Structure 1
Amino acid sequence: MINIEFENKNLKIDGQIFELDYQIKDARIIDNLVIVIYKFDETVPKYRQFNNCKAFDYKGNLIWTAEHPTSTTSDFYIEFMDSKSNNLWNFGCFVCKLDFKTGKLLKADFTK
């Protein structure tokens, strides 16, 4: 079983440490990939979408960046909805379902 840990920008996969671009808010293994959601803080780019949901293989290689449900500049992912589902909560009040093999958005339900 693959073990992952994270702290600040460091993602640790089975003892191997990878420094990512931004501080990590959450990470979990889905479909043999490590899905990372970066934290939205003062270091992220302003005035454009924050592409903060990414998948890495176990060697730390970027596999995909998740699609967003809108094209607005303020779009970013906040977190996984809960510990059991792999749905993501989006800043624009969308519950998003991704294809975790490709990062393609399968469904987005507006909840506001």
Structure 2
Amino acid sequence: MSQFNPNSMTDRLKAATEARAAALARFRDRPPADDPVVVARKAERAQIAREREIRVAAREQARIEAEAQRAAEAEAERERFAAEEARAAEEKIAQAAAARLEQKAQRDARYAARKAKARR
């Protein structure tokens, strides 16, 4: 069963015509492009856009500077670590040399003791 539709074809055409006429009236009622209010609103929007671009550029610059700072800190950390490793390696070499000298001194003392014992 179909429902009863009280709108006839002429009613629908009339409503569509009135809607088009209302849209056209709204379009005609707009202020012209050279109206001071429109010009001021456009200038305000342009100013807001420029300020937004400046803020975006400032944030980008801050991000770049922070990234450069992090890179410099990482490089300094790597250099400090390399210097620490070099110092540790030099210390290890010095300890090995001192141990060799101590061993040589002990060996020489044993040799001298053997010689002294043999001469008696």
- TM-score (norm. length: structure 1): 0.12
Q: Specify which structure has the higher proportion of helix.
A: 2
Q: Looking at both structures, which has the greater relative contact order when contacts are Cα pairs under 8 Å and sequence separation is at least 6?
A: 1
- TM-score (norm. length: structure 2): 0.11
Q: Specify which structure has the higher proportion of strand.
A: 1
Q: Which has the larger radius of gyration?
A: 2
